[in-house]
Amino acid sequence: MNNKPTPGVRFKDNRAEIAVWAPYAKKVAVIINDGTVIDLNTVAYGYWVLTTAALKPGDRYRFKLDDKMALPDPASLSQPNGVHGASMAIDINQFKWTDAAWQNPGLGQYVIYELHAGTFSPAGTFEGIAEKLGYLKQLGITAIEIMPVAQFPGGRNWGYDGVFPYAVQNTYGGAEGLAKLVNICHKQGIAVILDVVYNHFGPEGNYMGIYGPYFTGKYHTPWGDAINFDDAWCDEVRHYFIQNVLMWFRDFHIDALRLDAVHAIKDFSAKHILKEIKENVDELMAQTGRKHHLIIEFDLNDPLFIDPIQKRGYGMDAQWIDEFHHALRVTAGEKRDGYYSDFEGIGHLAKAYNDAYVYDGIYSPGRLKTFGANANDNPGRQFIVFSQNHDHVGNRMLGERSSQLFGFEMQKLMAAAVMVSPFIPMLFMGEEWAESNPFQYFVSHTEPELVEAVRKGRKAEFASFHTDEEAPDPQAIATFERSKLQWDLPAKDGHKQMLSFYQALIRVRKQLPALAILDRKKLKTTVYEAGKILLLH
């Protein structure tokens, strides 16, 4: 694998090294600044390469396959004019890092703060995040998790519609903006987790299929054909994503990746793509001496994914546990419909504390099948828990955060439930001051038909809710604006107290050895069903 070219443009000795994978093309050319056209040379496995002094940092470029339409680079590092525009060549190694003293802590020491770059700060940029690091440090946060930043259509998106996995969203500040943010985080002692999407591409600006067989009809996913991880040509698709992982760690100093919905990655190869990613990251860590974590969003309850490679697992370091969230919310009074229907409250919450997986080989009425396997040998530092996150807030029609759904005391109880768990706690931005704004589903597509389809889809999703209210228009700027944090709130009554409570909770968690050391085996639970009391001891 390592002899294959890194896709995209890299600069070395003042010359651009260009590589693009287009196995079906008879001819590939690069067009620089809409003028100069230079043919690339075909090498093994369908790659086309060129080393040239004609392409310089800051230049715009596109590729032409077989003299057809000029297209942006699938491994573009920068899309200054959006997903349909030309790619811009940038020198990813020109950033002057000053974080040599930084050491990424073990996952057991992470207190994670999930944030969305566009709505976290007033500016909605990486710079805006940087300005709030002092605040986050005071709160006790040790790691921020940034929702996906791969270039998406327009300027407003949760990030899961990204179509350029190598390009950092221009409206957030692009590659340089992200590097600056990571650098300053490290100097302030905060780790950076980046959310990346390797299970699908967004519906607009996805030119991948024109370049090569990035997709396979072997498997259906909610987004259509699955990404090709095990069909013909999959080596090159795997290479594309493996190099992406390595880029974030090596070139952006990212501390951990959060791999979106890996259960939608379909791979029956003898070596699963996650295992291959882990092997490559292990190799990188051995070279650099730096530590990087791989966290997965994963809903199959199969410890195979998080077991070490020596135990024949895929070697992922940790995973999100949505079931803890579901059990906690139902215990707190959430209605048992949709994905909450499988959760019965306090008994299941106790099971989540004990076993991490609630459905660990038992029948799931919601799924209409037996589900999961036992994960009792996996330590607590492999599981990330939360009382809310972007998904479960935004999946609601009106995107209400906990503060709009639960009373003050219940919010405190839920925060404590997360913080005293033997797992890694994660907050969703603003929950610490009981943010009253919602976090709604928003997009900014440019294709009118797609905009209409997303609108309709969103409405249809909630049609059965029998409410007088309408689903907010995902495309409307107002939907995005009303999802922003209100930074004047934490000073206000009620919110101030909640923030103090969170600060105190995090401090206690860090200071009490019984909480700071994530030892699942030492935790005992006793449930008093009648009084709805759960005792952790």
Footprint of a copy of itself (CB under 8 A): 217-220, 230-235, 263, 266, 268-271, 300-304, 311-312, 361, 363, 367-373
Distance, CA of 528 to CA of 193 (rounded, Å): 38
Q: Which is nearer to a copy of itself, 269 or 525 (CB)?
A: 269
Task: Check if the beta carbon of residue 197 is closer than 8 Å to that of residue 260.
Answer: yes
Distance, CA of 319 to CA of 258 (rounded, Å): 8
Name the catalytic one among 231, 297, 322, 435: 297
In one letter, which amino acid is 8?
G
CB of 228 to a copy of itself, least distance (A): 9
Range 244-249, long-range pairs (CB < 8 A, 24+ positions): 244/165, 244/166, 244/196, 244/198, 245/196, 245/277, 245/280, 245/281, 246/280, 246/281, 246/284, 247/6, 247/92, 247/166, 248/194, 248/196, 249/281, 249/284, 249/290, 249/292
CB of 53 to a copy of itself, least distance (A): 34
Distance, CA of 457 to CA of 445 (rounded, Å): 14
Q: Which is nearer to a copy of itself, 240 or 371 (CB)?
A: 371
CB of 161 to a copy of itself, least distance (A): 23
Q: Which is nearer to a copy of itself, 195 or 230 (CB)?
A: 230
C-alpha torsion sign, points 97, 102, 103, 104: negative
260 classed as catalytic: yes
Q: Which is nearer to a copy of itself, 213 or 490 (CB)?
A: 213
CB of 323 to a copy of itself, least distance (A): 14
Q: Which two tokens stand for residue 455?
A: 């609108």
Q: Which is nearer to a copy of itself, 263 or 455 (CB)?
A: 263
Q: Which is nearer to a copy of itself, 361 or 457 (CB)?
A: 361
Q: Which is nearer to a copy of itself, 12 or 367 (CB)?
A: 367
Distance, CA of 519 to CA of 435 (rounded, Å): 32
Q: Which two tokens stand for residue 236?
A: 């090159």
CB of 366 to a copy of itself, least distance (A): 9
Distance, CA of 291 to CA of 311 (rounded, Å): 21
The continuous run of DSSP H or E covering 526 comes out as strand 525-528
Distance, CA of 298 to CA of 319 (rounded, Å): 6
34 classed as catalytic: no
Name the catalytic one among 73, 145, 260, 322: 260
CA gyration radius for the chain?
Answer: 23
CB of 357 to a copy of itself, least distance (A): 9
Q: What angle do CA 154, 173, 458 make, to 5 degrees?
A: 30
Length of the chain: 537
CB of 354 to a copy of itself, least distance (A): 18
Question: Cβ contacts of residue 470 below 8 Å, gap of 6+?
Answer: 459
Tokens 């490290």 map to which residue? Answer: 186
Q: Which residues are catalytic?
A: 260, 297
